[in-house]
Amino acid sequence: FNKRIIGPPNGDFSELIHLFPTTIAVEVRPPFLVITVRDFPQKPWPLTVGGLPLRFTQDESADVFDRGISGRRPKAFDDVDLRVNSISDEILKRVGNKFVDSNIRIKDICWFSGFWRITVPDDVPRTQLPCLICECPAYYRKSSEAVDPDPAALRIKPPPGIDWDDTSYIPTRNALLHPGIMLSSSRSTTGTYKSSTQGFEDDGWVYHPDPNGQRIGRIVDILPDTDISIAEIEPGLRYVNETFGSGLAPTGVPMRGISPDYASHLRIGDTVTMDNPYTGQCEGRVLGIGLRTREDGELNKFRWVKHEWFVFENGDEAIDGSCGTPILKENGLVVGFFRFRGMNNECSSVSTLLLREYGYEICGETQTFA
């Protein structure tokens, strides 16, 4: 998880300062490279520069990423130094459990390259929050200031100006379905396959591409804490875990199973892709990894839900409706399922490793349903 976020060799920003015509300042502000400009350059903008996700601003003092505020308690876990060592699941859970043991019910904890971001209850004073964790700065957000969007509310209608793909891909029986097709409940469009739990009605029926289309399956399982539901496909249909072809991958990308989302299988800065009717094929980068608490649990029934944070190449545009979209590594392994977009356009996914906890795997060949 430790691709280090550093500046150019010897601190020489001369090439970067001349990269865009009205550049005023350039700064490495993890997890982004921040370029202050007088006039925004013409789009499309690059996703990364020098391997770092790019953010433009016209205000040099603007906060392009909500880190939160620092703690005022002495440092914690100084037996681990993440300035030189790699993050691990064990370290994440150890740090998270320390807050729980201190009766601080955190909402989430995330490691970005070089710092922590932790969401805490509003009434926790800063004097109870460590300023350094594992020798790296720790920042905190109040729960009331870090409200997650409602995934179901994002799929009622298409974002303005977005040309989404509502094509029916099953004009005949024995049709072949792919990840990224439009799905719908019996009343409204819900997202992409796999799909969000909150988007379906009580009857559980799944339609493609909309409620007036063909019924293709029914929800048979809901995975707690993940916002993911599992559908059983109707007889006479086939399904293949392979994305549609695109400029990035003309023949599509076959999904080869669940990715172990820990080093060295997944690192901050790694390239990922996703493909759905709202974004098409788009590329992203890993920003951070972390844990979220279960939404309705009590301390004596505490559970961590692993998640990752990404930034995608169309991050300044609406990607509402992407919930449930598989996020892939370059080798076709599935890292997570898109869950929501944050306030700064960073995107959260739930780890695919949770599928395995509930007894599911991701198949890599064509499935025929009789």
* pLDDT tens, position by position, 266-295: 788 888 888 877 777 788 888 888 888 875
Dihedral class, residue 226 (left if φ above 0, else alpha if ψ from -120 to 50, else beta): alpha
Q: Which residues pair with 49 in a beta bridge?
A: 52
Grouping H, G, I as helix, E, B as strand and the rest as coil, residue 208 is: strand
Among the residues of the chain, which ranges form H helices? 14-17, 89-101, 353-357
Which residue reads 């094509």 in tokens? 167
d(CA 46, CA 174): 41
Residues 6+ apart with CB under 8 A from 226: 197, 305, 337, 350, 354
The arithmetic mean of pLDDT across residues 303-309, rounded, is 81
Judge if pTM exceeds 0.85: no
Indicate whether 130 pLDDT > 90.
yes
Least confident piece of the model among 26-40, 112-126, 195-209, 328-342: 195-209
Sign of CA dihedral 238, 244, 249, 255: negative
How does DSSP classify residue 114?
T
Asked if 370 contacts 235 with a C-beta cutoff of 8 angstroms, the reply is yes
* Vertex 320 angle, CA 317 and 324, to 5°: 125
**Please, which pLDDT band fits residue 172 given cuts at 50, 70 and 90?**
low
Least confident piece of the model among 44-58, 191-205, 238-252: 191-205
Least confident piece of the model among 81-90, 108-117, 148-157, 342-351: 148-157
Least confident piece of the model among 77-81, 152-156, 293-297: 152-156
Mean pLDDT score of the chain, rounded to an integer? 81
pLDDT number for residue 197: 45
**Please, which pLDDT band fits residue 194 given cuts at 50, 70 and 90?**
very low
